[in-house]
Structure 1
């Protein structure tokens, strides 16, 4: 059904009004349980195997044929290219000032920054502050739901998973791929390059996993903390941080220390299983 053109301003007004109302909702407390852990660990193992076999070697090769400056310039380009996602979600969250700021950053970097390869906007005080539909749902008061690991896509939650299909609607990379049909699926090459740049940045942080008792738990907790900081614009309440850290009224530091000592004292299996 086609709406008359004179109704379009009313549709826009209704969308903005709805966003303002929803933006007034209270952000739900993050969950710390993991009811889907059995599935999540299998998906994590699959992703880890795929990363070791294909994804990481490609990212390592990318780092070998590029310089740090080249990687920085490409990273700037993709960050700017995906800025419409943040702009749209700022509107949906009923935040006109942040929408104006993100739009200004996009325009400055697209023009003065030569289509985003350079980042003069940050020097002008327009710092990068990314938003997505997952953070929009959170600010609308939607609980995050159980933690979820998806094959190839990685960490998310029952709420944040909706950002994948919804944010595609505002993603220029998706626009480009969906309107072309090139040989050998070449229309997806910009998306693949973007993903390679993301994985390449992660190589520098791999040292954080050294000595980690359970990498799955490390990634799960890191994802939850990263999402909380994004939802609260980098300044989450103290009680939320304490909740994620397992600190509450019944928190006993001596019990936690004793538990850590028992883990360290437990005999470690060698590579031959002994």
Structure 2
């Protein structure tokens, strides 16, 4: 799926990173490369509040009125619509083969797959992949910049913050549709809202990974950054890149363990 990082898709955009970090997420060492942590934590709290009072309830309601099959068809439909984001960025990254594959998937699923509701391309062995302009900029040599949590957008970085408008405004067909139509009550934005709700809904199964996490902010931050690193290096980052991302030396592991144990005891108290 395209990398639109909003409160609707906050869980979806890092679910893969969550799975990677789940085994060690209960003890997260302090980082020295989060210069805006104070601001980020305030924005994280704001986004978490927005998710709890409005966004997640919308996703829960969506799941109540749909079944698993219909949700899969709807997700297929939106993934197919959003595929131009991947195609254009594949071209910008010089990945002609990947661009050809993504274009083939779009053509097959839009026709044989009935406007993308079904995914015959995968059954034909044409696997899906996604990329975005943030990855493109990274491959062009643009540095990551500081980790940022943006209001009503979520986890980002200096580089991804600049890239976001390119994907979400210039390359997103749903955005094209909204800009070129005008209906009563701004109904032209309903497809975008529906898409974001499906993303938030698809991430609900991963919420259990946060249970027992001492500091969810750190968990989200490191999951996001690790997921982006693996995306940039096509799933195979070099060891030096991993080590640079971790950046955790001079850590008092005993203190971290004690804090985690105290947190778990507090959680067990009635």
Counterpart of 1:261 in structure 2 is: 257
Max radius of gyration: which structure? Answer: 1
8 Å contact from structure 1 (residues 147, 155) kept in 2: yes
Please list the CA deviations of residues 64-84 of structure 1 after superposition, one character each: whole Å capped at 9, or x if unmatched. 110011111111111110000
- CA positional deviation for 1:268: 7.2
C-alpha separation in 1, matches of 2:158 and 2:60? 32
Point out where structure 2 has 5 or more consecutive residues left out of the alignment: 1-30
Task: State yes or no: 1:212 paired with 2:213.
Answer: yes
> How has the CA–CA distance of structure 1 residues 74 and 147 changed in structure 2, closer, same or farther, with 3 Å as cutoff?
same
Counterpart of 2:70 in structure 1 is: 70
CA RMSD of aligned residues (A): 2.0
Please list the CA deviations of residues 207-262 of structure 1 after superposition, one character each: whole Å capped at 9, or x if unmatched. 00000001111111111011111111122223323333446xx688xx53x23332
Task: State yes or no: 1:137 paired with 2:137.
Answer: yes
Counterpart of 1:179 in structure 2 is: 180
C-alpha separation in 2, matches of 1:164 and 1:261? 37
| Residues 182-193 of structure 1 aligned to structure 2 (within 5 Å) | 182-193=183-194
- CA positional deviation for 1:113: 1.0
Counterpart of 2:12 in structure 1 is: none
3-state DSSP of counterpart to 2:203: helix
Counterpart of 2:170 in structure 1 is: 169
Counterpart of 1:99 in structure 2 is: 99
8 Å contact from structure 2 (residues 212, 264) kept in 1: no
| Residues 14-33 of structure 1 aligned to structure 2 (within 5 Å) | 33=33
**Comparing both chains, which one has the higher relative contact order based on Cα–Cα distances under 8 Å and sequence gaps of 6 or more?**
2
3-state DSSP of counterpart to 1:211: coil
TM-score norm. by structure 2 comes to 0.82
C-alpha separation in 2, matches of 1:68 and 1:62? 11
Counterpart of 1:242 in structure 2 is: 243
**Count of matched residue positions in the alignment of Structure 1 and Structure 2:** 236
> How has the CA–CA distance of structure 1 residues 77 and 245 changed in structure 2, closer, same or farther, with 3 Å as cutoff?
same
| Residues 6-85 of structure 1 aligned to structure 2 (within 5 Å) | 33-85=33-85
C-alpha separation in 1, matches of 2:73 and 2:219? 30
3-state DSSP of counterpart to 1:226: helix
Counterpart of 1:149 in structure 2 is: 149
8 Å contact from structure 2 (residues 149, 156) kept in 1: yes
8 Å contact from structure 2 (residues 178, 188) kept in 1: yes
> How has the CA–CA distance of structure 1 residues 183 and 209 changed in structure 2, closer, same or farther, with 3 Å as cutoff?
same
- CA positional deviation for 1:169: 1.2
Counterpart of 2:121 in structure 1 is: 121
> How has the CA–CA distance of structure 1 residues 265 and 60 changed in structure 2, closer, same or farther, with 3 Å as cutoff?
closer
TM-score norm. by structure 1 comes to 0.81
